[in-house]
Amino acid sequence: MVAAAISLVSGWFCVRLSNIYFAMLTLAFAQIFWSIAYQWVDVTGGDNGIVGVWPSDWASGAKAFYWLALAATVLSVGCIRYLTFAPFGHALRALRDSPQRAAATGIPRRTVQHTAFVVSAFFAGLAGSLLAFQKGSIFPDVLGIPMSIDGLVMVLLGGFGTVSGGIVGAIVYKTASIWLMSNTDLSRMILGGLIILLVVAFPEGIVGTLGRIMRTRKQQPAIFSQPVAKMGDAP
């Protein structure tokens, strides 16, 4: 709720811009919040962070916390999927595909984008609270630009415009990152090269590319099953 409340204010400024300026302003806000978390020692602990952050006794066990995190994930994905196919989601896609045409049909661009900004911040805050409970501590570096870039990379790998794209991208990215960090000292360089190759090979993302391949395979039998006109038949 705190993340959603903060985004309610910062999002008011961000949705007044678009394209690269929107991205730059969101990164600027991220740096501001990182600086506040780093320097407000009395509240955030500064560079030392906040330690001793543990869930309640009923969720303190590894197995109980696993089910708690899984339930939160399933509920979050379900809510996001519902919003995606609700009128709100259709309005967002219309603004993405053609902002001028969407505005001409009466869709309030700033209101819809501001709502999406707050909703996404709420789920990001929920994920951050689970991360803090898992580690038992939280530090200002989670508000840094590298963490924001990691999220964008996950979406790029999985594919834009799909709920499952972010999930698949996160699984692939974190699995590759953890495996490389435990097996080589050049993990960041190798991971960066793999990301470049994947983005070039699958510009639509993993989920988008797999979906296109499946649609193509479904269309091929229909094409080949059509009767071929014999020579001499009327067109």
What pLDDT was estimated at residue 187?
81
Q: Which of 96, 80, 85 is nearest to 22 (CA)?
A: 96
Exposed, middle or buried, 64 (CB in 10 Å: 0-12/13-18/19+)? middle
Tokens of 220: 């091929």
At what angle are helices 145-158 and 19-39 packed, to 10 degrees?
A: 140
Within a 10 A sphere around the Cβ of 188, how many other Cβ atoms?
12
What pLDDT was estimated at residue 11?
87
Q: Are 205 and 156 in contact (CB under 8 A)?
A: yes
Amino acid at 45: G
User: Consecutive sets of 10 residues in the chain, 235 residues long: mean pLDDT of each?
Assistant: 86 85 86 86 82 77 87 92 90 87 88 91 89 84 81 85 85 88 84 84 82 80 54 49
d(CA 121, CA 126): 9
What pLDDT was estimated at residue 230?
52
Kindly state the helix (H) or strand (E) to which residue 36 belongs, with its residue range.
Answer: helix 19-39
What pLDDT was estimated at residue 43?
83
What pLDDT was estimated at residue 226?
56
Length of the chain (residues): 235
d(CA 106, CA 100): 10
